Amino acid sequence: MNPSPNLFLVGPTGAGKTTIGQRLAAHYGLPFIDLDVEIEKRYGCTITHMFQTQGEATFRARESAHLDEFSLHQGIVLATGAGAVMAAANRETLMTRGTVLMLSVGVDEQLDRLAHDTARPMIAGDDRRSRLEALAGARNHVYEEVADLIFRGRHEDVAHAAPRAIELLDRHWRRA
């Protein structure tokens, strides 16, 4: 386990990185950073707009730069975007600069959580199930590779999930 004051959350779209991350940050008295939100603030547009007008490669380069920048802070809870782990440099950054908690969730739960969400370019289109299954096939093993701990979703709301995540972290997270 990486003894670090930083906690980095990774996992698929709809796993709860933002909502659970906010609860974890409040519980541990740490600032919460949502990497996607920070990118949108800095560039003054949504990620969907970046994908549409500048392409995924431009977004991914910005994502890597922001991950590098924010991961240098000490004592934060940072929620990554779902695809951030796909770049080798980002995996190295995550594994060396913080404790990595993977939020694991099944496709059925993702579909329930994202039923009314139209702001995620990687799952845009009519057949979300197929997109989510393909992303899971490509990414889940990478999330597991970088994770120090894995928190498994149970089709529950954040009020029940967050205390379980805190219990897991309290048992295993050794903050420097």
Integer Cα distance of 101 and 136 in angstroms:
17
Q: Is 118 annotated as a binding residue?
A: no
pLDDT, tens only, 95-129: 999 999 999 888 777 667 655 666 555 566 667 78
User: Is 34 annotated for ligand binding?
Assistant: no
Q: Please indicate if the annotation marks 36 as binding a ligand.
A: yes
Q: What is the pLDDT of residue 60?
A: 94
| Backbone angle region of 124, left / alpha / beta, with phi > 0 → left and psi within -120 to 50 → alpha | beta
pTM above 0.75, yes or no: yes
Is 120 part of any known ligand binding site?
yes
Residue 119: per-residue pLDDT: 59
Mean pLDDT of 165-172: 94
153 is in an annotated binding site: no
Dmax (CA) of the chain: 46
Residue with tokens 């997270």: 173
Is residue 146 pLDDT above 90, yes or no?
Answer: yes
CA distance 110 to 81: 15
Query: Does 15 show up as a binding residue in the annotation?
Result: yes
DSSP 129: H
For the stretch 13-72, pLDDT in tens is 888 899 999 999 999 999 999 999 999 999 999 988 998 899 989 999 999 999 999 999
Task: Round the CA-based radius of gyration of the chain to a whole number and report it.
Answer: 15
Architecture of domain 7-171: 3-Layer(aba) Sandwich (3.40)
- Among 111, 175, 106, smallest CA distance to 136 is for 106
Q: Is 126 annotated as a binding residue?
A: no
- pLDDT at position 164 over 80: yes
